[in-house]
A and B are shown apart, each in its own frame.
Chain A
Amino acid sequence: MAQLKQVNLYQFARRARLDTPLWAISSYGIALLYALMIIIPLYFLVVSAFKDNISIFIDPLGLPAKISFQNFTRAFEQGGLLSALTISIIITVCAEVLTLALAFPAAYAVARIRTRMAPVVEAIFALGFLIPALAILMPVFLTAIRLDLLYNPLMLVIFYPATLLSLTVLLLSSQLREVPKEMEESAVMDGATHLDLIRFVFLPMARPAVLTSVLLNFLSLWNEYLFALVLLNANNKTIQIAVTMLKGERTVDYGLIAAGVIISMIPIYLVFLFSQEKIMQGMFAGAVKE
Chain B
Amino acid sequence: MGLPQLCPMTSQELIKEEKPLTSKEGALRRSYFKIQRARSRAAFILLVLPAILWFVGLMLWPLANMFYLSFFRWDGLLDPKIFVSLGNYTRMFNDEHFWHGVANTAIYLAVDMPLVLLPGFVLGFFLSQRPPGSRLLRVIFFAPSMLSVAAVSMMFVGIYLPDGILNTLLHQVGLAQLEHVWLADADTALGAVIAIDIWGSIGFYSILFYASLSNISQELFEAARLDGANLWDLVWRIAFPLSKDFFGVAMVLNFVWIMYGSAQNVLILTKGGPGDHSLTLGYYLYNQAFMGYRLGYSQAIAVFAFTIGLLGILLIRRITRRSEV
Contact = CB atoms under 8 A, between A and B. Distances in A.
Interface string B140-169: 111111111111011111110101110011
Describe A's contact surface by its main secondary structure.
helix
A244 B264 CA distance: 11
Interface in A211-236: 219, 222-226, 230
Interface in B101-139: 119, 122-123, 126, 129-132, 137-139
Contact of A38 (B52, B143, B156): B143
Interface in A232-287: 240-241, 243-244, 246-247, 252, 254, 257-258, 260-261, 264-265, 268-269, 272, 276, 279-281, 283-284, 287
Contact of B256 (A132, A161, A194): A132
Q: Which of A16, A241, A243, A261 has the most CB of B within 10 A?
A: A261
A31 B137 contact: yes
A106 B43 CA distance: 10
B242 interface: no
A113 interface: yes
A18 B158 CA distance: 38
B156 A284 contact: no
A204 interface: no
A106 B50 contact: yes
A108 interface: yes
A97 interface: no
A4 interface: no
A125 B55 contact: yes
Describe B's contact surface by its main secondary structure.
helix
Q: Which of A108, A124, A226 has the most CB of B within 10 A?
A: A226
B148 A115 contact: no
A134 interface: yes
A132 B59 contact: no
B123 A31 contact: yes
Given A134-B282, A230-B290, A118 B306 contact: no
A28 interface: yes
A243 B127 CA distance: 34
B140 A39 contact: yes
Contacts, number: 292
Contact of A288 (B144, B149, B249): B249
A272 B47 contact: no
Interface residues of A, number: 106
B99 interface: no
A117 B55 CA distance: 16
A102 interface: yes
Contact of B231 (A23, A102, A247, A252): A23
27 contacts: A18-B131, A19-B231, A41-B156, A41-B199, A44-B165, A106-B48, A118-B44, A121-B52, A130-B310, A132-B256, A135-B302, A136-B62, A138-B289, A139-B65, A139-B69, A143-B58, A158-B58, A165-B54, A169-B51, A191-B6, A223-B151, A225-B268, A243-B151, A254-B158, A265-B151, A268-B147, A281-B211
Given A124-B52, A139-B65, A290-B253, 14 more contacts: A18-B131, A31-B126, A31-B137, A45-B158, A109-B43, A113-B43, A114-B40, A185-B10, A191-B6, A225-B268, A226-B263, A252-B158, A284-B212, A287-B249
Interface of B: 6-8, 10-11, 37, 40-41, 43-45, 47-48, 50-52, 54-63, 65-66, 69, 77, 119, 122-123, 126, 129-132, 137-151, 153-159, 161, 163-165, 168-169, 199-200, 202-203, 207-208, 211-212, 218, 221-222, 225, 230-231, 246, 249-250, 252-253, 256, 259-261, 263-264, 268, 282, 285-286, 289-290, 295, 298-299, 302, 305-306, 309-310, 313
